[in-house]
Structure 1
Amino acid sequence: MSETTPQPKATTSKSAQPVKAASKDKSAAAASGTGADTKGKSAKDLKKEKRAAAVAARSGDAGAGQSQGGETSGAGQKDKGARDGQGKGSGSSAKQAGKGTSSTSASAPTAGNATANLRLQTQNQLFSHLPTYKLPDSAEALISGKIHPIIIRYGILIASGQIRGVNARTIGLMAAFKEVIKGFSCPPEELHRLLPAHLSPMIAFLDQCRPKGVAGGNAIRHLKSEINRIGTDKRITEEAEQKDLILNAIDEFVRDRIELADEVICTTAVEKIKPGDTIVTFARSSLVERVLLEAWASMQEEDASNKFNVVVVDSRPLCEGKQLLSVLTSHGIPTTYTILSSLASILPRTSLVLLGTAALLSDGALYSRAGTAVLAMLAKESKIPVVACCETYKFGDKIVLDAVTGNELGDASMLAVGKDANLSPVHLLYDLTPPNLVTAVCTEVGLIPPSSVPTVITKGDAAGL
């Protein structure tokens, strides 16, 4: 027993030593080779480095398998060599992968910014065709010598919003042109040609300040037609007489198409307001304001015990309804003020919706302050009559299918939404109300359906209006 026991030890030791040595050499060679490749070829492809690390791992595993019966220290040495080879290869691979990851993360913000910039450009291009809020360069206009100072003053007032509302802007426009015509001088036979040419750069200047819209365009066309008619009349040979006739034509337009028209509209609209009614209106319309005041005054004369109430619906950023609220409450009219988002809770107890207009298009669509279409839509669903108050000089012969093709951009800074490179604030001033949402249009020619706009325009052209 004592002699037999050492023999297997000696045999096992002799047979295991060459395998252990070979295994060590292979593992060391693989580990050192992989490490040398990783250090000397740091710029090589990541795939080759992973392959070298895998070879080193397989070599270490083979040595460990062959030396299963060997000493624990030899197996530990082999495992250490395999781990060294794997660690070096994997470390280099991780380092390269880390470099790739860091470069990708560095380029990611650039790609994100490019996407954000593209989205911002797309948003801007969607409304880039619309006129923008712009204060005129009065110094440049004065230096050019083509713009009258009264036109520059008027342009600043409409661009800054100090003159707001279609009627107020049209009256101011015609008053400014009166001053320009008074100071213009030319031979009588040249008036119909030289005066429109004199006014053209001023009209273009005002368009840069604020678009004239349908009503302003109709007023300017009427003025030019009167200039042409008077200038080509051979019976009028004096310049002063020609000017007087043109100035009188301007006064007649303001009186007949705006002031007298408003009186007739008020008389017709007041008849639709009954004691106990609750009337809803949106933002501020000078004509609707006048209708409400006259209706309240007429009920006071009749000593009606149950008078009407008014609900003023408003929206940001202009909040024009606050001015209407101040006027109505100062006259003692019971008034409720709310914002557009609360409209659904107000309509169930409403009797009538009165709306102002900026223009009425040829298909009967209502072009008015942004938010009007929402009010008209909800009123239609609640089966509440919607009446629009509009003078016929605001009727347009064009058809607009949406509020993006033709609109006007307000001052976006009034939205107060903060500053962000990816944010593009847009302040659209008007929206388009389809004709099927409007019950009737109250004009100086009476209550008409929206579909009658082309007929009124045709008759007005035939009458020279």
Structure 2
Amino acid sequence: MSSPSKPSALPTQPPGSPKKEKAAPAPAKEKADKADKKPNAKADKAARRAAKLATRPPPPPEAPAQQAGSAAPTTAQAAGNPAGPSRHRRAVAAAEAASTRPAAPPNPAQQYFSHLPLPRDAGTPAAFESGKIHPLVVRLGVLIASGTLRGASARTMAVLEAFREVVHDYVCPEDAVFWKDLNSHISPMIAYLETCRPKGVGVGNAIRWFKGEITRLGENETDATETAQKAALSAAIDVYIRDRIVVAGQVISDNAREKIKPDDVIVVYARSSVVERALLDAIDEMKAKDRNASFSVVVVDSRPLQEGRELLATLTAGGIPCTYTLLPLAATAISRASLVLLGGSSLNSDGALHSRAGTAVVAMLAKEYRVPVVACVETFKLSERVALDDLANNELGAAHDLFSIPTAPALQLPEPLPKSLSTLTLLYDLTPPEHITAVCTEVGFIPPSSVPTLLGKSAITA
């Protein structure tokens, strides 16, 4: 059987109704004309807007109070205020005019040395008011900031002795652990000393060692009393000062004086405590063997610190014939020298010597005249740092010291200074290792290339 056919779902057109004709597509030419009219209409609209803005009179100037009151309008006010777009256009025009204005030439001192710390005041009242700084540490900060206490060895000894007193006066709270709370107790004091003057390598190594000794108290896990732990820290500080600074300086002096012979001419620069001791010990030993034997010293100095004057007074009091000259005339003295002895603030791992500004000039002149250069540095001043120059790790001195000459009235400069004049005083420079013949340490004479080996041994024995 055949199944009945299903009715069609599409509507049928009743008979007799006219058929609908499809709309003819628009010609391609009309579409192209419409597409061409769109950009032309946009251009005409922009031209009319520009002409309208050109013929509009300029807005009256606003009062200062109105400008201050409407400096930061809200979004709703900006949308409803017709003066908002004109204010924005004026700001854009002012910014464009400022960008086309020629910029002032940068100050070289501010451009290249702005990262270096400036000499600053110790901030004694604030330190006392905080109550977190020990009075002895405040006194030490004043001495360091004023320049009364100079030299890496002297500052390191003073810092350790101050912390020994801090440990002695410290009282641990009942609910705290001694070694943990002591670390928190000395942290503000370390930060205070850093604000007075950058620590330097020697002081930094000593502080790192001291904090390690405090942590080692907790690692031992002993039930020692607070008094016993304080005594252990004080004894450790005494051993560090004795072995790493005092005895090390004496051993370096004994090693360096072996290189000094009768009738030698020794050139030194500025003042170094180790070099000073070596020269005094050498003259005493030489006089003990032969009363007529002697050697002479040429003290090269430079402004503004002129530390060589203090060395000159000490050496002449010790019976050493001395000659005093300034750095610009050092070539004449080095040309007839037998040996150059230099001190240092630190010694980098590549053998470069970080010392008082002017040391590199003396070392380069000595190499030019083929005079041996010996750098006397203790091992606690060794640094793992490597530097191509001394612009990244340096200190700025007081610029006014350049214009105060002790033998003449101070030079009066116009106030303010001309833009073409920059005052700058760098305290340190970097002597390349190729200008150093040998390094004299408490372990003996080593070439500058052996400093990394000595660094490893110092880390093991520390």
2:217 aligned with 1:230, yes or no? yes
Q: Which amino acid aligns with 2:434?
A: N
Aligned partner of 1:443 in structure 2 is: 441
State the alpha-carbon separation in 1 of the partners of residues 356 and 211 from structure 2.
Answer: 29
Answer with 136-145 or 331-340: which moved more: 136-145
| 1:103-142 pair list within 5 angstroms | 115=104, 118-120=105-107, 122-142=108-128
Question: Of 129, 147, 153, which residue of structure 2 is paired with 1:143?
Answer: 129
Q: CA-to-partner distance for each residue in 1:75-114, whole Å, 9 max, x for gaps? A: xxxxxxxxxxxxxxxxxxxxxxxxxxxxxxxxxxxx99x6
Answer with 400-409 or 430-439: which moved more: 400-409
Instruction: Answer yes or no: is the 8 Å Cα contact 1:357–1:390 preserved in 2.
Output: yes
Displacement of 1:212 after TM fit? 0.7
Displacement of 1:304 after TM fit? 4.8
Instruction: Answer yes or no: is the 8 Å Cα contact 2:353–2:431 preserved in 1.
Output: yes
Q: Which amino acid aligns with 2:189?
A: M
Larger Rg: 1
2:424 aligned with 1:426, yes or no? yes
Instruction: Answer yes or no: is the 8 Å Cα contact 2:109–2:424 preserved in 1.
Output: no
Q: CA-to-partner distance for each residue in 1:350-370, whole Å, 9 max, x for gaps? A: 000000000000111000000
Question: Of 442, 450, 459, which residue of structure 2 is paired with 1:461?
Answer: 459
Instruction: Answer yes or no: is the 8 Å Cα contact 1:192–1:232 preserved in 2.
Output: no
| 1:249-264 pair list within 5 angstroms | 249-264=236-251
Inter-CA distance 368–443: structure 2 relative to 1 (3 Å threshold): same
| 1:320-335 pair list within 5 angstroms | 320-335=307-322
State the alpha-carbon separation in 1 of the partners of residues 124 and 165 from structure 2.
Answer: 18
State the alpha-carbon separation in 2 of the partners of residues 435 and 304 from structure 1.
Answer: 38
TM-score scaled to structure 1, two decimals?
A: 0.73
Question: Of 251, 262, 266, which residue of structure 2 is paired with 1:279?
Answer: 266
Displacement of 1:142 after TM fit? 1.1
State the alpha-carbon separation in 2 of the partners of residues 272 and 304 from structure 1.
Answer: 19
State the alpha-carbon separation in 2 of the partners of residues 391 and 385 from structure 1.
Answer: 19
2:188 aligned with 1:191, yes or no? no
State the alpha-carbon separation in 2 of the partners of residues 123 and 274 from structure 1.
Answer: 45
Q: Which amino acid aligns with 2:418?
A: A
Structure with the largest fraction of helix: 1
Displacement of 1:123 after TM fit? 2.5
Q: Which amino acid aligns with 2:126?
A: E
2:341 aligned with 1:344, yes or no? no
Which secondary structure does the structure 2 equivalent of 1:240 belong to?
A: helix
Q: Which amino acid aligns with 1:295?
A: A
State the alpha-carbon separation in 2 of the partners of residues 319 and 222 from structure 1.
Answer: 33
Inter-CA distance 250–236: structure 2 relative to 1 (3 Å threshold): farther
Aligned partner of 1:152 in structure 2 is: 138
Displacement of 1:230 after TM fit? 1.8
Q: Which amino acid aligns with 2:367?
A: K
Aligned pair count reads 350
State the alpha-carbon separation in 2 of the partners of residues 329 and 199 from structure 1.
Answer: 43
Aligned partner of 1:216 in structure 2 is: 203
Displacement of 1:340 after TM fit? 0.5
Aligned partner of 2:363 in structure 1 is: 376
Inter-CA distance 236–440: structure 2 relative to 1 (3 Å threshold): farther
State the alpha-carbon separation in 1 of the partners of residues 458 and 329 from structure 2.
Answer: 41
TM-score scaled to structure 2, two decimals?
A: 0.74
Displacement of 1:450 after TM fit? 1.0
State the alpha-carbon separation in 2 of the partners of residues 453 and 159 from structure 1.
Answer: 31
Q: Which amino acid aligns with 1:180?
A: V
2:148 aligned with 1:162, yes or no? yes
Q: Which amino acid aligns with 2:316?
A: T
Which secondary structure does the structure 1 equivalent of 2:177 belong to?
A: helix
Q: Which amino acid aligns with 1:198?
A: H
Instruction: Answer yes or no: is the 8 Å Cα contact 2:119–2:145 preserved in 1.
Output: yes
Question: Of 301, 307, 310, which residue of structure 2 is paired with 1:314?
Answer: 301
Instruction: Answer yes or no: is the 8 Å Cα contact 2:375–2:436 preserved in 1.
Output: yes
State the alpha-carbon separation in 2 of the partners of residues 303 and 288 from structure 1.
Answer: 22
Q: Which amino acid aligns with 1:173?
A: V
State the alpha-carbon separation in 2 of the partners of residues 328 and 443 from structure 1.
Answer: 22
Q: CA-to-partner distance for each residue in 1:50-86, whole Å, 9 max, x for gaps? A: xxxxxxxxxxxxxxxxxxxxxxxxxxxxxxxxxxxxx
State the alpha-carbon separation in 1 of the partners of residues 263 and 401 from structure 2.
Answer: 38
State the alpha-carbon separation in 2 of the partners of residues 271 and 202 from structure 1.
Answer: 42
Question: Of 179, 184, 207, which residue of structure 1 is paired with 2:165?
Answer: 179
Instruction: Answer yes or no: is the 8 Å Cα contact 2:287–2:293 preserved in 1.
Output: no
Which secondary structure does the structure 1 equivalent of 2:142 belong to?
A: helix
Displacement of 1:452 after TM fit? 1.3
Which secondary structure does the structure 2 equivalent of 1:349 belong to?
A: coil
Which secondary structure does the structure 2 equivalent of 1:333 belong to?
A: coil
Q: Which amino acid aligns with 1:424?
A: S
Which secondary structure does the structure 1 equivalent of 2:266 belong to?
A: strand
Q: Which amino acid aligns with 1:135?
A: D
Which secondary structure does the structure 2 equivalent of 1:364 belong to?
A: coil
Displacement of 1:311 after TM fit? 0.1
Answer with 122-131 or 245-254: which moved more: 122-131
- Aligned-CA RMSD value: 1.5
Displacement of 1:190 after TM fit? 1.5
Aligned partner of 2:287 in structure 1 is: 300
Displacement of 1:410 after TM fit? 1.1
Displacement of 1:404 after TM fit? 0.7
Instruction: Answer yes or no: is the 8 Å Cα contact 1:191–1:227 preserved in 2.
Output: no
Q: Flag structure 1 segments of 5+ consecutive residues without an equivalent.
A: 1-110
Instruction: Answer yes or no: is the 8 Å Cα contact 1:275–1:304 preserved in 2.
Output: no
2:350 aligned with 1:363, yes or no? yes
Displacement of 1:330 after TM fit? 1.1
State the alpha-carbon separation in 1 of the partners of residues 378 and 154 from structure 2.
Answer: 13
Identity %: 52
Aligned partner of 2:397 in structure 1 is: 410
Q: Flag structure 2 segments of 5+ consecutive residues without an equivalent.
A: 1-100, 404-410
